[in-house]
Amino acid sequence: MGTEVLTQDGESLGRVNFPTSCDPAVQTDLEVGLGLLHHMNYSNAKPAFEAATLVDPECAIAHWGVAMTYVHPLWPDLISTEALAAGGARLAAAKAASRTSEREAGYVAALAAFYEGDERSEQARLAAFQDGWAEVHQAFPEDLEAAAFYSLALLGTAAPEDKSYTNQHQAAAILKDLLKKMPKHPGAHHYAIHAHDFPPLAADGLDIARRYDDLAPENTHALHMTSHIFTRLGLWEESIEFNVRAAIASTERTPAGTVSLHHFHALDYLAYAHLQQADDRAAEQVLAAVNELQAPFQNHPATAYAFAAIPVRIALERHQWEAAAAIEPRQPEEIMWVQYPYLEAISEFAVALGAARSGQPKAARAAIARLEGLETAAAALNSAYDWGVQVAIQKTAAQAWLAYESGEPDQGLELARRAAEMEGSTEKNPVTPGEVLPAGELYGDMLLAAGRPAEALAAYEEMLVRSPNRYNSLFGAGQAAEALGDMDVARGFYKSLLEICPDPSGVHPALEAALTFVEGGGAPTSG
């Protein structure tokens, strides 16, 4: 069932089922555009749909396709005023076009629900988008593409505070049925991974993640998306393998004249995985590769996120506090940082935490003050995701360590607990593999330093549910168990730590000490 989709250069995109009313001469372009939409290769999908409009200006669904490329329900970017105008013009052309059908008109109406109104919030637009696709799915229940887009809309409106994951379960059920009917459908794979990109759900998405590259082995985002599940489950080797492939693919198929957002996105996940394996050299090589890239860069949160997060991750994951305090925000200058206060905050968080933990309270207070301003700016963004809360978590965690290191341990512990609680009530955004240093883990560190190992162990264990196989949480849990005198539990955590690191000898003091403990020759020291 469906049609195998190949781009002009032979890239496989999977199979779609997309009958249209348009000139048969444009059907291939329409299917390529659709396949790229499902892979979220929006910048490449747009010219495919535009080519169809040039050959058949009366093709309604081609104009719809161009307008669809501006709408990114699961991405952290916001549709611009210019894109709203351009997409609206395309939808007007779609409504006026003579080549259409009742089903295709439904597609146009579902998308028009997003575009209507000048002052609506992103959340309101996405809610209308969901309602529109619900109507199409109900009217045409056998239409696989409508089912896929309805699932995408459900995921775009999922409430972060809903820990029953209602929308995710509903989308996953629709996509499961779609996969039975068309096992190589790109949207079914892609959106199913997003539906399972949550700690309690990730294991159920592993099989789909491992199959996604079978249908699109050269597509950069398809290759990368597998690592969302690998990251959720702490499968670092697989995450590394697929993000290396994704980064390579992104250099071969990228927006003309720019470094693709998909390239940066893959490199951020790659650096994170290397750090969890204590492979600092590989992580530094990723950072060097990023720093060698030449502008222009595709203007997107994933681009800015990688530039901000990778150097911060390296310093913070290794507890190199002085290096963290020396991080320079807003680098490189080519990035439009004013658009991304929540990403500028990553660098300021590193400075604040690093300064607090390296005896530089004045610098820490100054960075915390800047975080307060960035929190306000982030909260004011017209975004479906609450970036203001994420900055607040970072600010509170930095305040906690400043208080603790300034001789106020009770206040520090209370602030650290509060930051961990806020973090536990939220979900990470898909733009990131994980927090640059989780508040829950920092709380465990502070409890351990304060001589409260039982509470520290509980904090680390909670962190490992949220982020399995995190290097620092495993080591901290082992230390806490050892301090409690539970050597069997400690040994279990240290074994897990050694298992995720390919070369445990001579790399990190923590690994060396864990190895010594497991082999029975001594007890670990901090590292």
Residue ending a domain, among 437, 462, 484, is 437
User: What angle, 0 to 180 degrees and rounded to 10, lies between the N-to-C axes of helices 60-68 and 27-38?
Assistant: 20
On the question of pLDDT at 10 being above 90, the answer is: no
Spatial separation of the C-alpha atoms in residues 418 and 443, rounded to whole Å: 9
Residue 110 domain flag: yes
Task: Give the pLDDT of residue 255.
Answer: 62
Same domain, yes or no: 286 and 306? no
Residue 473 domain flag: no
526 confidence band (pLDDT: 50, 70, 90): very low
256 confidence band (pLDDT: 50, 70, 90): low
What mean pLDDT do residues 59-65 have? 98
Same domain, yes or no: 306 and 426? yes
Handedness of CA 107, 111, 117, 120 (dihedral sign): positive
Q: What is the domain-level CATH number for residue 23?
A: 1.25.40
Same domain, yes or no: 187 and 103? yes
What is the separation of C-alpha 89 from the centre of its chain, rounded to a whole number of angstroms? 31
Task: Give the pLDDT of residue 512.
Answer: 86
Task: Give the pLDDT of residue 118.
Answer: 78
On the question of pLDDT at 223 being above 90, the answer is: yes
Same domain, yes or no: 284 and 303? no
Q: Find the range with the poorest average confidence among 188-192, 255-259, 469-473.
A: 255-259
Residue 205 domain flag: no
Residue ending a domain, among 274, 292, 310, is 292
The count of C-alpha atoms lying within 13 angstroms of the C-alpha of 495, restricted to the half-sphere facing its C-beta, is: 9
Spatial separation of the C-alpha atoms in residues 185 and 14, rounded to whole Å: 6
What are the residue ranges of helices labelled H in 39-121?
42-55, 60-68, 81-96, 102-115
Residue 498 domain flag: no
Residue ending a domain, among 241, 258, 292, is 292
Task: Give the pLDDT of residue 137.
Answer: 98
Same domain, yes or no: 11 and 137? yes
pLDDT, one tens digit per residue, over 84-107 is: 999 999 999 999 999 999 999 999
For residues 193, 195, 196, 197, the Cα torsion angle rounded to the nearest 10 degrees is 80
On the question of pLDDT at 16 being above 70, the answer is: yes
- Please state whether the predicted TM-score (pTM) of the whole model is above 0.85: yes
Same domain, yes or no: 18 and 155? yes
pLDDT, one tens digit per residue, over 152-168 is: 999 999 998 899 999 99
pLDDT, one tens digit per residue, over 27-47 is: 999 999 999 999 999 999 999
Same domain, yes or no: 415 and 433? yes
Residue 469 domain flag: no
On the question of pLDDT at 506 being above 70, the answer is: no
Same domain, yes or no: 72 and 117? yes
Q: Taking a C-beta distance cutoff of 8 angstroms, is the pair 240, 225 a contact?
A: no
**Largest separation between any pair of C-alpha atoms in the chain:** 80
Report how many domains make up the chain.
3
Same domain, yes or no: 167 and 258? no
52 is written with which tokens? 């169809």
Domain hosting residue 225, numbered range? 213-292
Task: Give the pLDDT of residue 507.
Answer: 64
Residue 204 domain flag: no
Residue 229 domain flag: yes
Same domain, yes or no: 99 and 221? no
pLDDT, one tens digit per residue, over 357-392 is: 999 999 999 999 999 999 999 999 988 788 999 999
Same domain, yes or no: 31 and 133? yes
Same domain, yes or no: 245 and 338? no
Residue 60 domain flag: yes
Q: Taking a C-beta distance cutoff of 8 angstroms, is the pair 70, 86 a contact?
A: yes
2 confidence band (pLDDT: 50, 70, 90): confident
Handedness of CA 476, 428, 436, 470 (dihedral sign): positive
Task: Give the pLDDT of residue 97.
Answer: 98
On the question of pLDDT at 410 being above 60, the answer is: yes
